[in-house]
Amino acid sequence: MSAKTDLDLSRSIKTKGEALGFDLIGICPAEYSPESHERLLQWLRRGFHADLAYLERNPRMRSDARLFFPGAKSVISVAKSYYIESNYDPAKPYISIYARCRPYQDIIKAKLGALLEYIKSLAPETRGKIAVDTSPTFDRYWANRAGLGWPGKNTMLINKRFGSFLFLGELFVDIDIEPDKPEIDRCGDCSRCIEACPSGALVEPRVLDASKCISYLTTATDIDSERASRIGGNILGCEICQLVCPYNQNAEPSDSRGEMFTDIDFNNLALKDYIDLTESRFDDTFKGTIIAQKGFYKFRHNTLVAQYNTSAFRGLS
């Protein structure tokens, strides 16, 4: 393709991506990043991945687009905001915004599938492969290279307009498309996320020790009493390092609530409501959410831990 055709194709893809409901879309070359590969190896050597053994498999593939999809020439990176106003109160049990969502991987995959079909209508010989956060790829690396945002000190991708409450995905294709410029680091001297992390999981800027992360602990299969005490009032997930970020203070809320969320009103649910749930009522209440995917028994366990850890609710025990 000529440079002009590459640019026209880029514009057409972005227009279609926006029409499909993506809040951000950018493009970068499909490449290998020795730097991100080495950072992953160092992180694994330090044991910061806890028992997430799958991260040890195919470490180079995560930073080499051509291993993930042989023949790849371009990476189309997309983001969908899921930010809504948080009702977080450290004195009360909390379910993260992320956990309240519908299974977002299915939503992102469907939109990327439609985008690939559109590209094929413009360039019929195009082949592509879809990736979401369960794929062996560095979604935040590709998003940064495509200009969607920069890696924050809390390890999350941050965008000036939408903050860091973003679901990411990629479409790897075997055609050349005009790339965008990578986003620069805008964190500056700010370290609010590191200072706010209650469990010390952010051991240094952009380095997370998963074994200390509350979000990990609330989804781990087995945790001992010492680690359970770190959960505090968090039932599923933790967003403290995001909520304190200045870029999330004025982030644009998601305009796709019906698509990303069910109609559950979490502001009117108290700890006692969660404790009183039977398994069948749990299934009915949280059907279609990530909470349901985690299962009743994990939810029940975390609720009881949150009850014990949150002094304001100990009278309910």
Sign of the alpha-carbon dihedral angle for 171, 172, 176, 182: positive
Distance of CA 197 to the CA centre of its chain: 18
Which H or E element spans position 226?
A: helix 225-228
Distance, CA of 28 to CA of 142 (rounded, Å)? 7
Contact between 76 and 177 (Cβ < 8 Å):
yes
Backbone angles phi, psi at 58, to 5 degrees: 50, 50
Residues annotated as part of the active site: 133
Closest CA to 27 of 74, 70, 69: 74
Q: What 8-state DSSP symbol labels residue 179?
A: P
Contact between 207 and 43 (Cβ < 8 Å):
yes
- Kindly tell me the burial class for residue 3, based on how many C-beta atoms sit within 10 Å of its own C-beta (0-12, 13-18, 19 or more): exposed
CB neighbours (10 Å) of residue 279? 12
Distance, CA of 100 to CA of 82 (rounded, Å)? 10
Q: Tokens 């020795």 sit at which residue?
A: 34
Spatial neighbors of 91 by CB under 8 A, at least 6 apart, are 233, 310, 311, 312
Contact between 104 and 80 (Cβ < 8 Å):
yes
Contact between 263 and 245 (Cβ < 8 Å):
no
Q: Are strands 150-151 and 207-208 parallel, antiparallel or unpaired?
A: unpaired
Paired strand residues for 168: 79
Distance of CA 307 to the CA centre of its chain: 27
